[in-house]
Every structure is written in C-alpha cells, then in structure tokens.
A and B are shown apart, each in its own frame.
Chain A
Amino acid sequence: MHSTDYSSRKNIIIGVFLLVAIIFIIRLFYLQVINSSYKLSADNIVLRKVREYPPRGLIYDRYGKLMVFNEAAYDLMVIPRQMKDIDTSLICEITGIDKLTFEKKLRKAKRYSYYKPSTYMKQISKKDIGKIQEKLYQIPGLFIQTRTLRQYPYPIAGHLLGSIGEVSKREIEKDNFYKPGDYIGKSGIENYYEEYLRGKSGLKIVEVDVHNRLKGKYSNGKFDTIAVAGKDIFLGIDADLQLYGEQLMQNKKGSIVAIEPKTGEILALISSPGYNPNLLVGRERSENYSKLLKDTLIPLMNRATMGTYPPGSTFKMVNALVGLQDKTLTKYTEYGCKGQLSLPIKCTHDHKTPLNLSEAIEQSCNPYFWNTYKSILENPSYSGSHEGYEHWYENVTSFGFGKKFKTDIPFEVRGNIPNNSYFDKLYRGSWNSLTVRSLSIGQGEILVTPIQLANLSTIIANRGYYYPPHLLTKMEGQDEVLNPYFNEKQITSIDPDNFDVVRTAMLDVFEADNGTARWYKLDSIKQCGKTGTVQNPHGDDHSIFIAFAPMDNPQIAISVIVENSGFGSTWAAPIASLLIEKYLNGESQRKSLEKKIMEGNLLQGDKNKRQH
C-alpha cells in the first residue's frame, strides 16, 4: 500500500475548500455590496424616529393677559411589531383596561401599521403616567409621547378662540404636515391662525436596542431637526371686558360686540349662552361637544357673527344719514306724526308732533323715517323709485351691511340687504317705496349681524369710516400687521359733517330728559346710543342697543342684542352702558344695576316653554 498513491487527492480537497470560500465570497458580495435592502432593514431595526411636538403658540389679550396656554398631556403609543412575548395582564393592569379592549386596540393599531407607532391611549394625566412609566420597561413596543393640551385661565370667549382637535383623514390628505393623532385648530382663532400657532415639529432619530431601550442619538444628532414653537398671538380682545360682558349676559340669549373705533379691533365678542372653553379639551372633548350640540339653546352657535336680526330702530339712523347725504333731508326737516293712526306705518311712541330729525331719532318716530325713506327713493334726480332704491342700496352697503368683513372673525354670515332684482322678482317688477316701506324702520327683509351693528356704531363714532373689525393685533416676531387689509380705512358714502346731527341725537338718547336711555346716563362719560326693538314673529321682541363713547374721542363702539327681552332700553341699553363704563373707567360704580342685570334670568320663560 503506497500512501503516495492518493497524495494527488489533496488537490481535490484544496479545490473543495476553495470552492466553499468562493461561494461564501460571492454570497457576501451580494449581501453586503449589491443588495441594499439589508441596510434599510438595519436602519428600520435600530433607528426610531421620534417626533418632537412644538408647543403651540399662546394667545394673549390686548393688555398681554394670557387667554390660552398649554399643559402637558401624555399619550401612550404602541408599535405592534415590537410587541413580542408581552405580559398582557400587566398592560391591562397598568393602563386600567380589560383584556378584550386591549386586543381591540392592538388590532386597530396593527391595521394602521405594523411598524409605525400609533396612539394606544390618549391624554393621560400626569399622575397616571407616573404609574405607567414605572412598569413600561417590561413592555416592549409601548412608549410615551408628550403632547400639549390647551388650557384657558378665563372660562370665556370659547366661540372666538375656538378649539383644537385631532386631525381628520381629510386634513391629513390635504396637508402632509399632519400625522394621525396630531392636533389642529378646528374653529375660531385656533383654526384661522393654525399655520402660525402650530409651529414646526422636530424629528429626533435615536438608536434603540433589541429591548427597545434608548441607546443614544443617531450620528450624534446630525440629522435631527429641532421643534420650533408656534408663534404667540395677541388679540384686540380685552379679557376683563369679555368676562364682564359674559357675566352680564348670563341666563340671557343674545350677543355683545365691542369695537375700538380707531382701529377696528374687536374688544369683546360675546354670544350667550356660551360655554367654558375648558370643556372642549382633552379626553372629555367629544362627550362635552355632543352635549353642547344637543342643547336647545344652541350654545355652540356664535350669535355675534352668525345671528341675523332685523336692525329695527337702530337702522333709522342709516336712513337719516343717507337722506342727509342726498340732501332730501336736513336737520331742520319736520314731519308730523299721528301716533297709532299714522299711515302707512303707525308710531308706537308717544311724543310731540311735528318733530325735527334730532327729536325723531331720540324718540324713534316711525312716520318720520318713513317720510325720510320715501323722499330718498322718490328723489326727483332719479328716474324713479327703482333707481332711487339702487342708490339707497349702494349707500347702505357702504356701511358694511349685507356682506362679510372677511377678516379673522370666525363663522361670519352676510346678513341681507335686498337688492333691486330681489324685489323685481318678488313683485314681478311692479313695486315702489310704499311696497318696501318696512325697510324705512329697519324691519322687513333687512337682516344684520350684531357685528355689523357694532360697526354701524363705529362708523357714527368715526364720522363716516371704519376699519374691518378684526381680532388679531400682533403676532410674535412680526413687526407689521399680518394682514394689511385690517388697517385699510373703509370710507362710507356719507360725508363727515352729516354725522353731527345723528351724533347729537344719540347723545340725547342718554342725556335728554325724555331720552330712551336716560336712566343710564353717566356724569363722567358722554355716551351716545340708540335703542331698538325688533319685532319677533316667534315670540317676545328682541331688545337692541348700539352705543359709543366718549362722544368726542370715541374709544368703544358697541352693539348689544338681548333676545326676547322686549323694549330696547330695558336690557340692551343698561348692558351697553355698563360695558362702556367698565371699559373706560375700569369698573362700574352702578353696583345695584350691575347686580340686577347679572341676576336677570330671561331663560326662565324658555325653560317653561320647553317643558310644555
């Protein structure tokens, strides 16, 4: 037996060794160099992208009082892929749910994504989150995400501030800024200034180990982006005035709008009944929301911007101004009044006759304004009452009636000033001033919103111009006003001189011996006002009052509507006067009046009626 016989077999053996090595090299070349999917998988395994939520911008009032701030809340997030060998009973124990609910939640999360985190439990309180955090390391796949909730130091201004809520599917599709579970401004200021308030979210890339424990920043944070806080905004609202107004309006239906005439900044925007904005925050949001939605007093509706009313007697001043501008009326023009017997519109007020313009405004004489209106429409310089009406229409709409201001006011409606073609259609072309006579005293087809009425008061205070009523005054980090339109002077078709007689008459409403608001006269402030009573076919008349003060340097223009409260001077006038006093003097001296108004409950009748 020669061993050398087989020594050549070493070549075969070496060949086999090399073959294996070559196969390995090829395989490794494929794995490491050609196929890049393994690198992606590696990143997916080790890296976790953590979204950093920016704090939402704060909202301040005109004096820098905080109206909206943020409070931390905690969401428990789940990544289904990492949920391996988990102790279900432990999860149920620490999160306080039963096994069935847990499985349902997990299934839902899996349906959304196996790899991406989704919300498992929302808005957990600080106290509860502490307990969960202690045990969390035992449960792979669960982690805590810090979020912020809105909080309101004053329980006011829910309508105008609006609320934030979770983004809907549609909103995510529209703007890729949002991810499921994000919050977005749903209404009011929160919605209008969403893109400034929301800030910019950051992205932190971290490395985790197999137990999902944080190991450190990826590439020393080279690829991280920092969350940028949302911008703080300042509103023209006076939080104290807003609060005071809401207190005055409690247990009453209606609205208050107060505007600073020099700027158009809204000082108060009140709709009653309102709601505490803290109700629409966090986990209770949806429950409270549906409760508010079902309330028959419709507290969710912003009456100040969405409510439309016939302006009643307050509109007489508009007709007077148009007449003065057209020279179909002078301050000396006198018309007679036969009281209840007047035709075609009777007068419900008891006063002297004949009377001049100032007295007619003061006494709110219906026949006087019917005559004023008739002479505007039947002005001989026009071909007829149709052309006269068209002219009247243009004048009236220059006051901002019949259209939206299109600023940052939430949920605005247009109201209605009927135009020629409306009447042409309605009366098949045959109509004249008599047909549309109701418009002379602010009844009929005319509908205005409380904010338009406040703007009327502003126009009279300013003698013929206004700035579009708006809420925002300043935004953090922005020197100029965000929207130049807010500062654009809107000039009406009425010359400044023509306002004098109206203003004097409005002063007399407070100051004259027989003024309709004489009980609310103040020695310290020269107030101008006008009562209105709006006939309401559905029940008691609405009480309306518009006012501004002080007369020579108007700081505040206001409109107050109290529904179903009867004559304008009983509720609306004192409320307006108290607000003026509060705003100008910081406090009202008329404590008994204040108390009487605040305690006045006009909803009793409503409640009784609803119980029947």
Chain B
Amino acid sequence: MRNREKISGNVDWVTVMIYSILVFVGWLSIYTASAGEDVSTLLDLNTRYGKQLLWIGFAILLAGLILIIDAEFFSTFSYVFYLGLLLLLIGVLIFGSTVAGSKSWFKIGGFAIQPAEFAKFATALAMAKYLSALNVNMRALKTKVISVGILILPALLILLQNDTGSALVYFSFGIVLFREGFSGLLFIAALMMTTLFIATIVFSETLVISAVAGIVFIIMILFKKYRKNWKPIFGIMILAIAFVFSSNYAFENVLPAHQKNRINVLLGIEQDLRGAGYNVNQSKIAIGSGGLTGKGFRNGVLTRYNFVPEQSTDFIFCTVGEEWGFIGVSVLLILFMTLLIRIILLAERQRSKFSRIYGYGVASILFFHFTINIGMTIGLAPVVGIPLPFLSYGGSSLWAFTLLLFIFLKQDANRLNVL
C-alpha cells in the first residue's frame, strides 16, 4: 500500500504551485509594508519580513514532513488532534496571553502561538472522520446534532477568547454539511435569517414585521393553493417575526458595543471615519488609489507609511491593491479561485469519503477566510480580524493553513492506494 516513490508524482503540483505563489506574494507584501529604506539582510529577525521568511522556511519543512508521513496517520488520529486542540483552546483561556483584546495566544519565549488557527484543521479532520464512518446515517437527527456539535464546540471556546472572527470561521463547515447531504432548506433558511437580521437593523422591527405580514397576505391572495394549505405559511411567518424580535434584542443588548458598531458602519447606518470605519476607509483609499496598474513595488505610500492599520496581517490585501492595482488583485483573485475550485475537484475525485469530506473542509475554511478578509478590506464585510490565507503575516496562521492544505494533498496523493 505504501508507495513513497510515487508520492512526488501523485502530489497535485498545480495546487503546490499556487500555494507557493500566494506565500511569495504575501512575503513581498509584508516586505514592502515593513521594510525601511535600506535592507541589509532579508533574514533580519527584528523585522516582520525577516520573521516571515523564517516562518515560510518552517512551513516548507512542515509541508515536506506531511508528505512523508503515512496518509493514514491523520485519519487515524483525527479525534486525537481534535481533542488535543480542544484542550489547548481551554488551556489558552486559563494560561494564555491577551493580544489586541483576544485571549488566544500561548507565549513561549519570544514567540506566540495561536491554538485557534490550528483548531480549524483538527475540526476538519474530526468532521471528516465522523461523517465518513460507515454507520453514519446522514438523515438521522443524531448525525446532525453530533456534526454540528463537532464544529460548535471549538467555535464556542474561541468565542470565549473574545476572538469572534475565528469563531465565525466554523460556520463555513455548513458547506461541507451541504455537500454531504444536509438539506438545502437549512441554507435557504440561513439566507432568509441573514436578510431579516440586516433588514431589522437597517430599518425597524415594526417595518420588517409589517413587510413579512404583507408578503404573506399577498401570497394568500394571489395563490389559491396556499389558502387551503395555510398552516406552514403561517408557521414560517410566526417564526420569522419571533426571529426579528429576538435578533433585534440580541443586537441591541447582547452584542458587544464594538461589534455592534462595526456592523452599523458596514451597513452604512453610522459614518465613523475615526473609529470602526477608519480602518475600512483607509483601506479603501489605499486599494482605490492603486488604480488599474498600481503604483509599483515598494511605491505603495499609504501602506508603507502605516496609513492602513494592520497592513501586514489582516489588511495585507491593501498592499497588493495599492502596489499592483486592479490587474494585480484580479490575478490574485483568480489564483485563489483556481485553488478553491481545484480543491473541490480534487475532493470529488477521492475514493475515500474521509478525504473528500476533509477536502471540502479545506475549501470551505479557505473560502470563508478569503470572503471575509477581502470583503472587509473593500467594505463589503464587517471588520473581523481574520487573516488572508497564505499571505498574512504570522507563523500560526501560515503553519495552520499549510497543515490544512498539505494534509489534503497527502490524502489526494495517496488516493490510488485507497481501496
């Protein structure tokens, strides 16, 4: 079964190539954002670009290691990884250090590790392991509860660390569940709930409720068949009204002020160019000023002179936008899309259900990060601090995404060995 000689030949080099390009672009952007006028050595550990070079080196070692290790290793020890990470997530709540308001870091010497980043791949493994078990019935309520439980558990622990962004990532597993047969209605319901939620905040409770009632009324008049079968329609209506009330209450009373503020700014209810809106505004200006072709490498003055906050971590996309322009970001988006679709197609060709589900998990997590991170830099998503995969500065996130991707590549390389 083991065939090490074949591994290099079976590894999907397209994905590896895209991964390498993304990591390289990320490093260039970190370099341009953090390097001063004269650079003596690239491996200067006092600088971000120097450190990132080191993290990239470790990431390559890590990737190589994963490709060498037996493919079965990860599926076998899925639950061990999962439980281990859960323990670390609990541990960080007790022993962790607080950085930028989130208690999610273990400080070891001069370096800090963020368990939440690694919890993603562990959860993907656990989800794949659970759903690929032979005796699992997708339609059973028990399956649904357990699979949702698998993703809710780390999400809650991360939420307790006050790291909302990373917690929200677990919503992305919805895509995996959808692919594995969860009802599409759930997602339609989720879409409707989102719409209602936004409408409630933007307009008012009463207006939204009257609108819902109005729509139901019109349906009743226009379609005779629903008049006879009114019970489900009314049920949905009552649920919708209840949701509106509860979400409004939650928004006003439960959500922390800064989150509420960010959502308000995003929805255009508040114009706050100094507070929550400042980052996004600066970020939009930086990207917008890039124009069609960009200002050129190391000429992105806004990002270089620190006008965009967090420009080497969460807002790294701004650097690309300012220095490489619309053409540059388009190439970057195409690379990301190619990677995501490639992963989906690779997942679909897996013989093993575990590999497929894990592959979808990888795609979903990457997609969520991609959407929220880029969305927030261009003012389409709320500012929740999550990194752009492979590009953002930071060892934890780079290693976690490398692990996530290369475990899948190992599974894929090994697919022909699966009976």
Binding site for B on A (CB under 8 A): 1, 3, 5-7, 9-10, 12-14, 16-18, 20-21, 23-25, 27-29, 31-33, 35, 37-39, 41-43, 45-46, 84, 207-211, 215
Contact = CB atoms under 8 A, between A and B. Distances in A.
Contacts of A42: 285-286, 288-289, 301-302
Contacts of A6: 179-181
B326 A29 contact: yes
Contact of A207 (B178, B282, B305, B341): B305
Nearest to A35: B288
Interface string B345-356: 100100001001
Given A25-B333, A210-B307, A7 B348 contact: yes
B277 interface: no
Contacts of A37: 288
Contacts of B341: 14, 17
Contacts of B115: none
B204 interface: no
Given A17-B367, A38-B288, A46-B305, A3 B353 contact: yes
Interface string B272-304: 001000000010111111111000000001100
Contacts of B333: 21, 24-25, 28
Interface stretch (B246-254, B371-379, B402-410): B371-379
A210 B305 contact: yes
Given A31-B284, A209-B307, A39 B179 contact: no
Given A31-B287, A33-B292, A209-B305, 14 more contacts: A1-B138, A1-B181, A10-B179, A13-B179, A14-B341, A17-B344, A17-B367, A23-B380, A33-B326, A38-B284, A46-B302, A207-B301, A209-B306, A210-B307
24 contacts: A1-B137, A5-B181, A9-B178, A14-B344, A17-B344, A18-B337, A24-B374, A24-B378, A28-B333, A28-B378, A31-B288, A32-B287, A32-B292, A32-B321, A32-B325, A33-B326, A35-B288, A38-B287, A39-B291, A42-B289, A42-B301, A42-B302, A45-B302, A215-B305
A46 B301 contact: yes
A38 B322 CA distance: 11
B360 to A, nearest CB: 8
B180 A17 contact: no
Contact of B288 (A7, A25, A32, A46): A32
B138 to A, nearest CB: 6
A37 B378 CA distance: 15
A3 B367 CA distance: 23
B378 A31 contact: yes
A45 B353 CA distance: 54
A27 B326 CA distance: 10
3 closest Cβ contacts across the A-B interface?
Answer: A38-B288, A42-B289, A209-B305
Interface of B: 137-138, 175, 178-181, 274, 282, 284-292, 301-302, 305-307, 321, 325-326, 329-330, 333, 336-337, 340-341, 344-345, 348, 353, 356, 360, 363, 367, 370-371, 374-375, 378-380
Contacts of A46: 301-302, 305, 307
Contact of B287 (A16, A28, A45, A211): A28
A31 B291 CA distance: 8
B127 to A, nearest CB: 15
Contacts of B175: 13, 16
B32 to A, nearest CB: 14
Nearest to B139: A1
Contacts, number: 116
Contacts of A31: 284, 287-288, 378
Contacts of B325: 32
Contacts of B379: 27
B358 to A, nearest CB: 14
Contacts of B181: 1, 3, 5-6
Nearest to A84: B274
Contacts of A215: 301, 305
A9 B179 contact: yes
A3 B284 CA distance: 44
A10 B181 CA distance: 11
B202 to A, nearest CB: 19
A28 to B, nearest CB: 5
A48 to B, nearest CB: 12
Nearest to B336: A21
B36 to A, nearest CB: 11
B302 A10 contact: no
Given A10-B179, A46-B307, A210-B305, A39 B289 contact: yes
A23 B337 CA distance: 13
A23 B289 CA distance: 19
Contacts of B340: 17
Contacts of B292: 32-33
Most chain B Cβ neighbours within 10 Å, of A41, A207, A208 = A41
Contacts of B286: 42
B302 A32 contact: no
Contact of B291 (A21, A25, A32, A209): A32
A6 to B, nearest CB: 5
A32 B307 contact: no
A16 B337 CA distance: 11
A35 B292 CA distance: 11
Nearest to B356: A3
A355 B291 CA distance: 99
Nearest to A31: B288
A1 B131 CA distance: 12
A587 B14 CA distance: 100
A16 B305 CA distance: 37
Contacts of B178: 9, 12-13
A38 B308 CA distance: 14
Contacts of A208: 305
A46 B378 CA distance: 20
A209 B308 CA distance: 10
Contacts of B348: 7, 10
Most chain B Cβ neighbours within 10 Å, of A3, A17, A45, A207 = A17
A1 B370 CA distance: 33
A55 to B, nearest CB: 32
B138 A38 contact: no
A2 to B, nearest CB: 10
A588 B348 CA distance: 115
B345 to A, nearest CB: 8
Most chain A Cβ neighbours within 10 Å, of B288, B321, B356 = B288
A20 B380 CA distance: 11
A33 B380 contact: no
Contact of B329 (A7, A12, A28, A210): A28
A14 B314 CA distance: 25
Contact of B307 (A23, A29, A45): A45
Contacts of B284: 31, 38
A14 B179 CA distance: 11
A209 B34 CA distance: 13
A6 B176 CA distance: 11
B50 to A, nearest CB: 21
B326 A32 contact: yes
Contacts of A21: 333, 336-337
Given A17-B341, A20-B371, A210 B380 contact: no
B171 to A, nearest CB: 13
A215 to B, nearest CB: 6
